[in-house]
């Protein structure tokens, strides 16, 4: 092992540069201290790092100075050559080369800087590092490593200076330093920071092979002072433990374990990252690098052989145990130095603890301490040989860094929290924006609705105005043509036809317009509805608007129908009222419906009938009938006018009744609050009542009661005239006499005489005459009758009063009525007492109508009661 001339021991080749700092030889093969070394487990990436060994010679102590004064030292140092000469005898020496030679004058500072500082720097960079002192007891191991330097700071040892350097180089914000302080004695590990832990076990990570002492107290160091306190505490515990075990500290190994965790961030970390930098995601989620360096500062037990001293008071086995760890270390280093296949690392706790320091990944420096005394030459020689062998141990330095997922997690949590807060802010802003937009949309909808409603209203008014205008024009035109009937019927018809077509097309256009506006509005509303989420109340409102709009449209359509039917009517102008005149008992009344008056004064011709018949086909009678029930009063009026006009035409009557017109008209009479409607309806009923089957139908529908009711309520003479006319027509039906009377028909007639209008009176008189005629006809047919129902209902006084009425029409009807009454003998007495005989007598003498005059005379002559009364009064028959 010992090799003259250094053999393989001197390896760094820097010895030529003698004026360079000695430390360079210690550093030359070390990896750079700033790490661009990628974290990797592959051996190819690891850096070769031989164990560095320095020799330190202790100065002669007082005893040596005294006892060995005459002897030469056993070692001679050539520090500039990094050589040590060990005296074999007076004439022979062995020379050894080391990485560094420290003379007795070497300062603690220089020893630290050469031996320990590079290791500390490596540990700060994430490597494991070991600084170990080996040597005979009393040669200065503890002085070199553990001197506190309380009294003299220049004597501070490696432990204190390492921590100073570490604390100066880390940032306490992101990095951490913690220490454990242990003693290994007789294969037992004791915790120097907590004596209660006196048997700490070593745990090896199966995967990484890392060794740890989970049971050891770990104290985080934040400042130098607290570290010094810890060292002192450890020292005190070590002393106490050794006293208790009755041993010396020189028999135990002291191990200070310093763990440094450093967080590497930013650019520095990039080089170590395994992530692909090109990915933007990678930048966000690249975890920081955590470098974990472990520094072991080992103050070994004295290397002297225990057995040699023999006086320690230990049994042999114990002595073996005491030195087990140290000798195991020697064996391991031998094996490593010789590249032996088997390294007995597991033989002792020390070798297990130092597994990484020798033959592992740690950067390791060894200080071999020797004394000058020739008396310990053998021990010094064995120490030097240990150092020489250790220099052959090659370590493969590997950076201990890992991704710091925990801190990344923390960082990401902070980021997530920030993002959540930001998201919440944005969410809120978004909701606010939505609310705003919704509000605006609602506003716009309601504006649009309002505009639409206004437009609709305007349009409606416009339509009505135009409609009224066209009606007015039409009337004016009709009146004009009535006054100037120049071109004959055909021309008028044609011109009206043209006018009508124009009007209809104009109205159609209006309707078209209205439909388009409505469509546009519907579209707009559905658009706005789409824009509006929810808002059912708005939808309901819009639906209402739409319904209203539809109603309006319907109303306009109805008006068009009415107008068209009127125009058609006008075209097919009527022949009817000529017939009425001929019949004598028909109602001439519709002429006086002022708004339609002009329609009836035309000379009809046969061609017009076809036009009227056409009307049903063009418009549809049912449609017109349905309009009688329209909610719109003006539509109703027009409809009832049309029906009344149609009803004046005998040819239409049957169809009207078939289409339910009569029922509808009666309903109008009952329900309508509009005087005009009731008047026109009554007129229409009056016209329908000319037909015998219709008369029965009217009776079946309680027509008499309705007419009587109308008669009682109406004040307008024209209405009364129509009602009276209708009843008068019914009075002419032989079969209905009794029922008509029992339902108040006669009383209704008599009630209407309160209105003194001659037209009304004339209809009343006609009714009475019709009734009386039926009664007399029945009596003539031999049907047994009682007293006249007319007399029963108190008609006689009015008959007598009006028998000589100025109006010839009234007078004529009354005269006829008297004659008919008189033909029935049962009435004679009442007639005599009521003064009717005088009137009959007057008629028989003065009536201008010869036929009535003759009838009266004949009646008087044929009644025994009248004849006897006249005789009694001396009147000539
Ligand atoms: P070891 O720990 O190896 O048993 P110590 O460190 O206890 O030896 O040293 C024994 C004595 O020698 C101590 O009093 C120590 O102060 C002293 N000593 C050791 N080395 C030196 C040195 N280089 N300079 C001055 N005194 C020293
Ligand atoms: Mg010591």
pLDDT per position as a tens digit, 58-70: 999 988 888 777 7
Tell me, in angstroms, the distance from the centre of ligand 1 to residue 440's CA.
92
Sorted by sequence, the CB contacts under 8 Å of residue 746 that are 6+ apart come out as 740, 768, 771, 789, 790, 793, 795
Q: At 394, is the secondary structure helix, strand, or coil?
A: strand
The residue whose CA has the least distance to atom 17 of ligand 1 is 140
CB of 143 closer than 6 angstroms to any ligand 1 atom: yes
Mean pLDDT of the chain: 81
What is the per-residue pLDDT for 435? 95
State the Cα–Cα distance between residues 26 and 601, nearest whole angstrom.
Answer: 142
CA 289–ligand 2 middle distance (angstroms): 39
Ligand 1 centroid to 255 CA: how many Å? Answer: 18
Nearest 5°: phi and psi at 19? -85, 0
Cα–Cα distances in angstroms (integers) from residue 564 to residues 475, 497, 499, 559, 641, in the given order: 14, 11, 11, 8, 13
Q: How far apart are CA 252 and CA 731, in angstroms?
A: 151
**Ligand 1 centroid distance, CA of 697 (Å):** 148
- What ligand has the least distance to the C-alpha of 147? 1
Tokens of 811: 């007078």
Query: What three-state secondary structure class fits 296?
Result: strand
Q: Which of 59, 104, 135, 140 to mutate to test the pocket of ligand 1 (most atoms within 8 A of CB)?
A: 140
Residue 251: the pLDDT is 86
- Spatial CA neighbour of 80 closest among 27, 16, 6, 9: 16
Q: How far is the CA of 238 from the centre of ligand 2 (A)?
A: 11
Give the tens place of pLDDT for each residue, 481-530.
Answer: 777 765 544 343 344 445 556 767 777 888 888 888 888 888 887 787 67
Residue 566 pLDDT class (50, 70, 90 cuts): low
pLDDT band at 478 (very low <50, low <70, confident <90, very high): confident
139 close to ligand 1 (CB < 6 Angstrom): yes
Q: Whose CA is nearest to atom 23 of ligand 1?
A: 58
CA angle 510–511–517, rounded 5-degree value: 90
Ligand 2 mean position, distance from CA 222 (Å): 27
The H or E element spanning position 47 is: strand 47-50
* Ligand 1 centroid from CA 463, angstroms: 125
Q: Which of 648, 651, 737, 731 has the alpha carbon at shortest distance from 688?
A: 648
Dump pLDDT digits (tens) for 519-537.
888 888 778 767 665 555 6
State if residue 58 touches ligand 1 by the CB under 6 angstroms criterion.
yes
pLDDT recorded at residue 512: 86
> What confidence score (pLDDT) does residue 308 get?
45
Higher pLDDT, 707 or 536: 707
Given the CA of residue 56, which atom of ligand 1 is nearest to it? 23
Q: Residue 141: CB within 6 Å of ligand 1?
A: yes
Six token digits for residue 387: 């150092």
Given this model, what pLDDT does residue 557 score?
73
What pLDDT score was predicted for residue 347? 93
Q: Whose C-alpha lies nearest to ligand 1, atom 18?
A: 140
Mutate to test the pocket of ligand 1, among 134, 138, 239, 371 (most ligand atoms within 8 A of CB): 138
- Count Cα neighbours of 844 within 13 Å in the Cβ-side half-sphere: 21
CA-nearest residue for atom 25, ligand 1, is: 59
Atom number, ligand 1, closest to the C-alpha of residue 144: 6
Contact 370, 364 (CB under 8 A): no
Whether the CB of 128 sits within 6 Å of ligand 1 = no
Banded pLDDT at 169 (limits 50, 70, 90)? very high
Rounded distance from Cα 58 to ligand 1 centre (Å): 7
The residue whose C-alpha atom lies closest to atom 19 belonging to ligand 1 is 140
Residue 353 Cα, ligand 2 centroid: separation in angstroms? 19
- The residues pairing with 198 across neighbouring beta strands, listed in sequence order, are none
- What mean pLDDT is predicted for residues 166-171? 95
Beta-carbon neighbours within 5 Å of ion ligand 2: 141-142
Distance (angstroms) between ligand 1 centre and the Cα of 143 equals 5
Q: How many residues are there in the chain? A: 877
CA 137 to ligand 1: nearest atom: 4
Greatest mean pLDDT range, 118-127, 645-654, 674-683, 733-742: 118-127
Among 58, 64, 77, 303, which is best to mutate for testing ligand 1, by the most ligand atoms less than 8 A from CB?
A: 58
How do residues 109-159 score in pLDDT, each as one tens digit?
A: 999 999 999 999 999 999 999 999 999 999 999 999 999 999 999 999 999
Residue among 718, 591, 594, 728 nearest 648 (CA): 591
| Nearest residue to 10 (alpha-carbon basis) of 132, 96, 136 | 96
Q: Look at 13-22, 425-434, 847-856 and tell me which has the smallest mean pLDDT.
A: 13-22
Answer yes or no: is the C-beta of 6 below 6 A from any ligand 1 atom.
no
Atom of ligand 1 nearest to the CA of 136: 3
- Mark 543-563 as b/e (b = at least 16 C-beta within 10 Å): eebeeebeebeebbbbbbbbb
Whether the predicted pLDDT of 667 surpasses 90: no
Ligand 1 atom closest to Cα of residue 57: 23
pLDDT at 569: 54
Q: Which of 294, 364, 292 is nearest to 329 (CA)?
A: 364
Sign of the four-CA dihedral 197, 202, 205, 210: positive
- In percent, the amount of the chain with pLDDT more than 70 equals 80
Count other C-beta atoms under 10 Å from residue 294's C-beta.
21
Distances (CA, A) of 682 to 356, 569, 612: 127, 20, 22
Instruction: Say whether 641 sits in a helix, a strand or coil.
Output: helix
The enclosing H or E element of 182 equals strand 176-185
Ligand showing the shortest atom-to-Cα distance for residue 238:
2
Using the mean position of ligand 1's atoms as its centre, give its distance from the Cα of residue 392 in Å. 27
Picking from 680, 697, 706, 483, the residue whose alpha carbon sits closest to that of residue 587 is: 680
Reported as a single tens digit per residue, the pLDDT across 389-422 is 999 999 999 888 877 777 778 778 888 889 999 9
Ligand 1 lined by 252 (C-beta under 6 Å): no
Alpha-carbon gap, residue 799 to 846, rounded angstroms: 17
How large is the average pLDDT for residues 706-734?
Answer: 90
Number of H helices and E strands in the chain, helices first, is 36, 17
In tens, the pLDDT along 744-788 reads: 999 999 999 998 899 999 999 999 999 999 988 888 888 877 899
State the ligand closest to the CA atom of 64: 1
Burial of 239 (0-12, 13-18, 19+ CB in 10 A): exposed
Q: What is the band of 701 on the pLDDT scale with cuts at 50, 70, 90?
A: confident
Q: So what's the pLDDT on residue 9?
A: 32
Ligand nearest to the CA of 59: 1
> Do 700 and 706 contact (CB within 8 A), yes or no?
no
Q: Of ligand 1's atoms, which has the minimum distance to the CA of residue 147?
A: 6
Q: Would you place residue 108 in the very low, low, confident or very high pLDDT band (cuts 50, 70, 90)?
A: very high
Confidence of residue 295 (pLDDT cuts 50, 70, 90): very high
- The β-bridge relationship of strands 52-57 and 363-370 is parallel
Q: Is 147 in the pocket of ligand 1 (CB under 6 A)?
A: no
Average pLDDT for 567-585: 41
pLDDT of residue 619: 62
Pick from 142-156, 239-253, 276-290 the range whose average pLDDT is largest.
Answer: 142-156
CA dihedral 638, 639, 645, 647 (to 10 degrees): -160
């Amino acid at each position: 092992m010992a090799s003259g001339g250094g053999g393989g021991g001197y390896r760094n080749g820097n010895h030529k540069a003698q004026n360079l700092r000695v430390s360079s030889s210690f550093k030359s093969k070390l990896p750079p201290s700033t790490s661009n070394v990628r974290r990797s487990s592959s051996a190819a990436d690891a850096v070769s790092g031989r164990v560095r060994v320095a020799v330190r010679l202790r100065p002669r102590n007082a005893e040596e100075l005294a006892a060995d004064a005459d002897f030469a030292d056993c070692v001679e140092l050539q520090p500039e050559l990094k050589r040590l000469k060990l005296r074999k005898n007076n004439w022979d020496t062995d020379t050894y080369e080391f990485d560094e030679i420290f003379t007795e004058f070497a300062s603690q500072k220089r020893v630290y800087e050469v031996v320990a500082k590079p290791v500390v720097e490596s540990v700060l960079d994430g490597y494991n590092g070991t600084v170990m002192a080996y040597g005979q007891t009393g040669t200065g191991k503890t002085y070199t490593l553990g001197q506190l330097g309380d009294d003299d700071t220049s004597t501070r040892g490696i432990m204190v200076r390492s921590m100073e350097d570490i604390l100066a180089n880390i940032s306490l914000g992101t990095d951490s330093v913690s220490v454990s302080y242990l003693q290994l004695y007789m294969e037992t590990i004791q915790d120097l920071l907590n004596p209660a832990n006196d048997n700490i076990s070593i745990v090896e990570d199966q995967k990484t092979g890392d060794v740890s002492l989970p049971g050891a107290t770990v104290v985080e160091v934040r400042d130098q002072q607290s570290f010094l306190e810890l060292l002192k505490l450890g020292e005190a515990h070590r002393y106490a433990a050794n006293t208790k075990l009755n041993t010396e500290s020189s028999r135990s190994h002291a191990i200070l374990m310093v763990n440094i965790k450093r967080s590497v961030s930013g650019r520095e970390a990039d080089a170590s990252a395994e992530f692909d930098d090109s990915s933007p995601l990678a930048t966000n989620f690249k975890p920081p690098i955590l470098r974990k360096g472990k520094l072991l500062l080992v103050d070994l037990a004295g290397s002297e052989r225990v057995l040699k001293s023999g006086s320690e008071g230990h049994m042999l086995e114990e002595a073996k145990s005491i030195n087990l760890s140290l000798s195991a270390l020697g064996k391991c280093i031998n094996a490593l130095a010789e590249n032996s296949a088997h390294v007995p690392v597991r033989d002792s706790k020390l070798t297990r603890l130092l597994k990484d320091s020798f033959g592992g990944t740690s950067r390791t420096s060894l200080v071999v301490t020797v004394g000058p005394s020739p008396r310990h030459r053998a021990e010094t020689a064995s120490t030097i040989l240990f150092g020489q062998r250790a220099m052959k141990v090659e370590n493969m330095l590997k950076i201990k860094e890992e991704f710091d997922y925990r801190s990344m997690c923390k960082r990401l949590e902070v980021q997530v929290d920030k993002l959540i807060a930001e998201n919440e802010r944005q969410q809120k802003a978004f909701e606010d924006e939505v609310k705003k937009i919704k509000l605006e949309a609602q506003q716009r909808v309601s504006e649009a609705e309002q505009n639409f409603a206004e437009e609709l209203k305007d349009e409606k008014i416009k339509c009505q105005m135009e409609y009224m205008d066209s009606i007015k024009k039409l009337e004016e035109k009709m009146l004009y043509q009535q006054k100037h009937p120049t071109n004959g019927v055909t021309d008028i018809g044609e011109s009206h036809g043209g006018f009508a077509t124009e009007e209809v097309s104009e109205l159609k256009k209006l309707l078209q317009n209205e439909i388009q506006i409505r469509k546009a509005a519907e579209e707009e509303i559905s658009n706005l509805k789409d824009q509006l989420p929810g808002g059912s109340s708005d939808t309901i409102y819009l639906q209402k608007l739409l319904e209203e709009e539809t109603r309006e449209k319907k109303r306009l359509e109805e008006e068009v129908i009415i107008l068209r039917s009127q125009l058609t009517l006008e075209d097919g102008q009527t022949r009817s009222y000529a017939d009425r005149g001929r019949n004598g008992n028909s109602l001439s009344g519709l002429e006086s419906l002022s708004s339609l008056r002009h329609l009836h004064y035309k000379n009809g011709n046969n061609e017009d009938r076809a036009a009227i018949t056409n009307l049903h086909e063009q418009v549809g009678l049912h449609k017109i009938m349905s309009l009688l029930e329209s909610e719109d009063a003006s539509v109703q009026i027009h409809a009832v006018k049309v029906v009344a006009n149609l009803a004046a035409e005998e040819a239409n009557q049957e169809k009207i009744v078939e289409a339910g017109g009569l029922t509808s008209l009666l309903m109008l009479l009952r329900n309508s609050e509009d005087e005009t409607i009731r008047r026109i309806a009554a007129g229409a009923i009056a016209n329908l009542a000319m037909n015998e089957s219709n008369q029965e139908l009217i009776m079946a529908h309680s027509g008499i009661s309705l007419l009587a009711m109308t008669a009682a309520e109406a004040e307008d003479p024209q209405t009364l005239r129509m009602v009276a006319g209708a009843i008068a027509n019914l009075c002419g039906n032989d079969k209905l006499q009794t029922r008509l009377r029992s339902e108040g028909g006669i009383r209704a007639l008599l009630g209407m005489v309160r209105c003194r209008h001659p037209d009304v009176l004339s209809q009343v008189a006609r009714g009475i005459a019709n009734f009386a005629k039926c009664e007399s006809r029945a009596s003539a047919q031999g049907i047994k009758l009682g007293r006249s129902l007319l007399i029963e209902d108190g008609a006689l006084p009015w008959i007598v009063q009006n028998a000589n009425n100025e109006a010839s029409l009234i007078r004529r009807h009354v005269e006829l009525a008297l004659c008919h009454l008189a033909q029935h003998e049962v009435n004679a007495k009442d007639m005599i007492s009521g003064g009717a005989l005088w009137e009959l007598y007057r008629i028989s003498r003065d009536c201008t109508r010869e036929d009535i005059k003759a009838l009266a005379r004949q009646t008087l002559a044929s009644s025994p009661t009248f004849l006897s009364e006249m005789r009694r009064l001396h009147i000539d028959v």
